């Protein structure tokens, strides 16, 4: 970590967004992660996305568990709400917070250890309930905080820093999420913000659970030759399927010169996500073909990236439960707590 604080001074002509903030207003504290950590780059992409969406930082709640990735909410959106929970339990906290106050935007930050080992059950059930949140899984294949043991997402045969090969098959969080019925699944790479930022924006605008599996190299324990989650390996083996380009409610659609079929998906809040199929054989709305595509290329050693699966009409937890459409803090007290008499009436129904 650096000894000096990031200076407050900045470029005097820094662009401002629709609510008059600059990118610097979306910062948090100075990162204490290793220099060059992929997670820092992901934090930056998150700041960029919220900045571009002109979200007021205090309308966001950040939740996380334990691990290098889970430290990062401190490093972005200093003005947002935050809760750093126990290991693997972030989905419960997010579910509870979302149940109580649906008016905030939720972002959970987790890692491959936090989500795929100790928290796998929690992860699965948050998907099942379709909690309206963005779940960022910063995936580096190792336990960085405890010096680089293989995690559950490490590829079979991937080499540790000292040369040992991983003997187990990996859990692919994106495949798992699609099979569990997740309504928005994407994969990207911390080292490619041109790809990552629009994907985050699209995921934020999705109503329901959106999972982004971000390959985010551990520069200290997993960035060597033989690792399948290094910067160089990821860049070499990335296979882009669908490029998601977020288009705001009032923005013009810019036709891009890049090749590929272009179509639009209208999101819950009226904004649109432009999908450009980089691989013509990929259909992000067809679950079965998506799964087989990802499986096929995973077997070949490719890292399939892009917007992997999206379900346009998705019912989130509140819709399923038929819960109040207000945040509980905004419900009048006598309605929120109808009193002892009302409780008696309810109880008497079961006598």
DSSP H/E element including 63: strand 60-64
CB 109 within 8 A of CB 62: yes
Segment contacting another protein (CB under 8 A): 1-9, 92-100, 126-134, 155-163? 1-9
Q: Which of 21, 25, 28, 37 binds another protein (CB under 8 A)?
A: 37
Return the number of the residue (42 or 127) whose C-beta is nearest another protein: 42
Q: How far is the CB of 290 from another protein (least distance, A)?
A: 27
CB 84 within 8 A of CB 64: yes
Does 41 contact another protein by CB under 8 A? Answer: yes
Quick one: which of 144, 146, 150 has its CA closest to 163?
Answer: 150
Beta-carbon count within 10 A of 254 CB: 9
Q: How far is the CB of 198 from another protein (least distance, A)?
A: 16
Residue list 147-206, contact with another protein (CB under 8 A): 190-191, 193
Return the number of the residue (44 or 122) whose C-beta is nearest another protein: 44
Q: How far is the CB of 296 from another protein (least distance, A)?
A: 26
Does 288 contact another protein by CB under 8 A? Answer: no
Q: Which of 23, 46, 109, 247 binds another protein (CB under 8 A)?
A: 23
Return the number of the residue (194 or 334) whose C-beta is nearest another protein: 194
Q: Which of 25, 114, 138, 223 binds another protein (CB under 8 A)?
A: 223
Segment contacting another protein (CB under 8 A): 113-121, 170-178, 230-238, 291-299? 230-238
Give the x-and-dash track for 235-274 against another protein (CB under 8 A): x---------------------------------------
CB 159 within 8 A of CB 212: no
How far lies 120's CA from each of 135, 153, 176, 218, 338, in Å? 13, 12, 10, 21, 38
Q: How far is the CB of 269 from another protein (least distance, A)?
A: 28
Contacts (Cβ under 8 Å, ≥6 apart) of 46: 76, 77, 107, 136, 200
β-bridge partners, 108: 63, 135
DSSP string, 222-248: S-STT-SSSHHHHHHHEEE-EEEEEE-
SS3 call for 161: coil
Spatial separation of the C-alpha atoms in residues 223 and 153, rounded to whole Å: 15
The contact set with another protein (CB under 8 A) reads 1-15, 23-24, 31, 34-38, 40-41, 43-44, 190-191, 193, 217, 219-220, 223, 231-232, 235
């Amino acid at each position: 970590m650096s000894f000096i604080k990031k200076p407050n001074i900045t470029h005097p002509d820094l662009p401002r967004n629709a609510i008059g903030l600059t990118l610097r207003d979306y910062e948090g504290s100075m990162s204490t992660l290793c220099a060059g950590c992929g997670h820092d780059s992901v934090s930056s992409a998150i700041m960029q996305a919220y900045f571009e969406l002109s979200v007021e930082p205090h309308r966001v709640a950040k939740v996380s568990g334990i691990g290098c990735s889970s430290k990062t909410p401190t490093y972005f959106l200093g003005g947002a709400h935050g809760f750093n929970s126990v290991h693997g339990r972030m989905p419960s906290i997010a579910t509870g917070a979302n149940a109580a106050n649906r008016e905030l935007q939720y972002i959970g930050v987790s890692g491959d250890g936090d989500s795929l080992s100790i928290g796998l059950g929690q992860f699965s059930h948050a998907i099942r309930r379709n909690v309206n949140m963005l779940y960022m899984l910063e995936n580096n294949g190792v336990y960085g905080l405890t010096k680089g043991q293989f995690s559950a997402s490490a590829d079979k045969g991937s080499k540790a820093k000292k040369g040992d090969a991983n003997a187990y098959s990996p859990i692919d969080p994106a495949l798992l999420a699609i099979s569990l019925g997740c309504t928005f699944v994407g994969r990207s790479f911390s080292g490619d913000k041109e790809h990552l930022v629009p994907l985050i924006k699209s995921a934020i605008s999705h109503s329901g659970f959106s999972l982004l599996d971000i390959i985010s190299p551990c520069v200290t324990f997993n960035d060597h030759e033989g690792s399948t989650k290094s910067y160089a390996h990821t860049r070499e083996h990335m296979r882009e399927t669908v490029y998601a380009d977020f288009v705001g409610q009032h923005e013009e659609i810019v036709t891009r010169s890049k090749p590929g079929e272009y179509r639009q998906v209208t999101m819950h809040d009226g904004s649109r996500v432009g999908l450009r199929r980089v691989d013509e054989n990929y259909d992000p709305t067809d679950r079965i073909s998506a799964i087989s595509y990802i499986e096929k290329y995973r077997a070949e050693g490719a890292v399939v990236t892009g917007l992997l699966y999206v379900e346009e009409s998705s019912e989130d937890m509140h819709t399923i439960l038929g819960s109040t459409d207000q945040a509980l803090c905004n419900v009048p007290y006598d309605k929120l707590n109808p009193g002892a008499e009302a409780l008696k009436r309810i109880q008497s129904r079961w006598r």
